[in-house]
Amino acid sequence: MAEEELAEEPVNRASLIGIPPELFAKILENCEFDSIFSLRKVCHSLRDYLLVNKPSIQFTYIHLVERGSRMILHLHTVSTVRRIDNLPWTQFKSDVKLILDHADSKVKSFGVYLVRDRQPRNRMSSQLLKFLGSYLESRREKLQIEMFTTDNTKTFIPILSNVQGNLNDITFICIKLPPASSNEGRRVTRGMIREDKTWNLVHFPLELSRLPAWNQAHTFDTGFGEAIITTSVMLFLHFNLLNCGFLKITEEEVSAVAQAFIQNQQKVFYWLKIDNFANREEIVNVFGEESHFDAEGTLWWYFRTVHENRWLRVIIEGGCIRLDQIFDLPPGSIVRDFN
């Protein structure tokens, strides 16, 4: 019955501008982030309003990807997943800044994934890393420093900001900040890892500026063998954007990482260095290990992750240690108890 009556009257085309501010804010709360991007470009007034009010965008995951000359944003909210492709650098940078500024939410993971080929190095990677470095630097006060060890804070930010263009072809860097319960000087112990259910397996305070030119492969001492640094960079920061409390990695997240490895199994991932562990014995002490030769005579090592029945497979080949994937231990494997 409402429709009949409405049809009799001329259409009342009211402007959004006439809406009271508190209701306008409520509408913006419901807007997807790309709508907010578009709204910013409508007019100065709206842009100014959005800059000041920063409507919350409830992201759960933010992943930034550089793939050759293309920049890609993967944005996950509670209800949607968006992938924004082929962004020019300037727009990418402004969008990322906008997202980070507006993301008034507990982000489960914030990742940067850089993939490069053997082409002359694109400057975007270093721009992106510098940008993220300065962003993190600017938010240093907001990071809950008590959660960081002093050393970690010093190590972490230069990783992003000291990329000077002589860095090349890093295969895999995965940064996992230490568990919330850690404090300066305390080493990661088996008990803590198990208690916190955090995934400290990959934590690389790699000094990127020491690395040679991009077009050269480089061997890197892992402390328990050498790794070849080759074709891509993956930098994965697990932290909470606003509170920067350290996140506990859930079983689902481990599965997601495992899935990512499985999908990329044609690529080679190298395990470079594990900061929290001085040597292989310590890793083994924490995680336990199993190894066997496959039919082709390749020696595979399995390190137990903190999650029951999940194992990280590592291949040791030609003096390199390769992170392969996380998965269930193959049936019939014998697990030695190192306790």
Partner 1 sequence: MSVENAPVVDVDEAAIPVEKKMYYRFESNDKKEFRVSELAIQQSETLNRLVEAMGYTSEDVENKPAIAIENIDGKTLKLVFQWCEHHKGEAIPVDDGSVPKIVEIPEFDAKLMDIDNGLLFKLIWAADYLNIVQLLNVSCKKVANMAQGKTPAQLRRVYLLPSDEEDEAAKRAAQEAQDPRAREVEEEFEERKRQGGNSFF
* Footprint on this chain of partner 1 (rule: CB under 8 A): 1-3, 5-6, 11-20, 22-23, 26-32, 34-35, 38-39, 41-46, 58, 77-79, 105
CB 52 to partner 1: min, Å = 16
φ/ψ region of 197 (left if φ > 0, alpha if ψ in -120 to 50, else beta) reads: left
| Closer of 78 and 295 to partner 1 (Cβ) | 78
CB 39 to partner 1: min, Å = 6
CB 79 to partner 1: min, Å = 5
CB 275 to partner 1: min, Å = 33
Contact status, residue 110 vs residue 175, Cβ threshold 8 Å: no
The stretches of 162-268 forming alpha helices (DSSP H) are 190-196, 251-263
Cα–Cα distances (Å) from 181 to 148, 149, 174, 254, in that order, read 10, 11, 20, 20
CB 23 to partner 1: min, Å = 6
Q: Are strands 289-293 and 299-304 parallel, antiparallel or unpaired?
A: antiparallel
Question: C-alpha dihedral over 26, 58, 114, 275, to 10 degrees?
Answer: 140
| Closer of 105 and 162 to partner 1 (Cβ) | 105
Q: Are strands 109-115 and 59-67 parallel, antiparallel or unpaired?
A: parallel
CB 107 to partner 1: min, Å = 12
Q: What b-and-e string marks burial along 160-183, b requiring 16 or more CB atoms within 10 Å of the CB?
A: bbbbeeebbbbbbbbbbbbbbebe
Contact status, residue 172 vs residue 269, Cβ threshold 8 Å: yes
Contact status, residue 279 vs residue 224, Cβ threshold 8 Å: yes
Q: What b-and-e string marks burial along 202-223, b requiring 16 or more CB atoms within 10 Å of the CB?
A: bbbbbebeebeebeeebebebb
| Closer of 108 and 273 to partner 1 (Cβ) | 108
CB 336 to partner 1: min, Å = 44
| Closer of 26 and 142 to partner 1 (Cβ) | 26
| Closer of 41 and 90 to partner 1 (Cβ) | 41
| Closer of 58 and 209 to partner 1 (Cβ) | 58
| Closer of 48 and 317 to partner 1 (Cβ) | 48
